[in-house]
Amino acid sequence: LIEDGHEVSIVHGNGPQVGQILASIELAHQVDNGNPLFPFDVVGAFSEGYIGYHLQNTIREELLKRGIKKSVDTITTQVIVDKNDPGFKNPTKPIGSFYTKEEAEKLEKDKGYTMKEDAGRGYRRVVASPKPVDIVEKEAIKTMVDSGFIVIACGGGGIPVVEDGDRLEGVPAVIDKDFAAEKLAEILDADALLILTAVDRVCVNFNKPDQKALKEINLEEVDRYIEEGQFAPGSMLPKVEACKKFVLSGDKKVAIIASLTNAKAALRGESGTKIVK
């Protein structure tokens, strides 16, 4: 995309990694209780630096191989959420590894986790996923983007914080990366929001005999499919809802859901699901 002349800013998830980091910390504490248990927002910050480090170096290397001289930088990003967000009362965001039903039930009993089935792939721990209200480092991100940097920001949805007077306080949650990406896209006045996932197109009647892939849908159809419960919470639903919000944010805004391998084709309209007004 960069080689084609697109100005790209990148947001990534952290579901598997944040779960693994948390499990490692808990295991270390069990072995020696002198090893501290870190709060969930700090674990999110760990993952943001860890994934951002790998991403920026890999992207930098690929750009140099293609003769493109552009700087790639990761910004540790805090994202403000509302402490009264209903997401805190209804955890939906999957993190960590997949488990069988029996393993999930044991984790619920032994550790008090909330476990839910994730799109037929097994059971995962779920945590609160509040909506982003604002991005603390937005001016720094805008300045870097305007200067030609490729910016990796809002990693894992960003570090969730609430405002307490002049203080920002971390909270135990994972902001959905799709809504964080949408918020960043609005702030940057981006032309397109491209959400990359494991499937080529959004489907209705997913994993059923009458499954249907969607090439283009308007907002009226989006609302109908959401009302029918076609999209799984914590999976495809936030992607579709984030796209809807972006399309509504201005004129000629384009939102696309596609697979990573077909990102280039999706921007050309040859793959993916395009969401329009």
What's the fold here for domain 191-277?
Carbamate kinase (3.40.1160)
Say if residue 15's pLDDT is above 90.
Answer: no
Q: How far is it, in rounded angstroms, from Cα 74 to Cα 72?
A: 7
Q: Are strands 93-99 and 123-127 parallel, antiparallel or unpaired?
A: antiparallel
User: Using one digit for the tens of pLDDT, what is the confidence trace for 99-143?
Assistant: 999 999 998 998 888 999 987 889 998 888 899 999 999 999 999
Q: What percent of the chain has pLDDT over 70?
A: 100
- Cα separation values, 3 from 7, 68, 177, Å: 10, 8, 25
pLDDT at 37: 87
**Whole-model pTM?**
0.88
Cβ distance 204 to 214 under 8 Å?
yes
Q: What is the mean pLDDT of residues 260-273?
A: 95
Domain boundaries, the chain: 191-277
